[in-house]
Amino acid sequence: MQSIDFYNDYKYCSACDMYVTYLMSIHDSYCTKCGDKVRLFSKKDWEEFNHTPTPKKNKSSQTRRKTLGFGRAQ
């Protein structure tokens, strides 16, 4: 729980090019270091987040299960 709160205290500032602590206003959040607007993810992280295919995860966990069972049988 504590770590989740800690993580939420950071957003990405493109001006600083890093995750920073921020000040929240009604509509936007602002970097405490330079005062620029911050966002939840960096552009790179956001693209990774959007392009990560979710069905693959199910497949790999299934494969892992199968492999485990097979190893046990031997």
Give the interface with Zn ion as residue ranges (CB under 5 A): 13, 15-16, 31, 33-34, 36
Closest approach, Cβ 24 to Zn ion, in A, equals 15
- Residues 64, 48: Cα–Cα separation, whole Å: 24
CB closer to Zn ion, 38 vs 57: 38
Residue 7 phi/psi, 5-degree rounding, is -65, -35
Closest approach, Cβ 13 to Zn ion, in A, equals 3
Measure CA of the first residue to CA of the last residue in the chain; give whole Å: 41
Q: Give the residue closest to Zn ion by C-beta.
A: 31
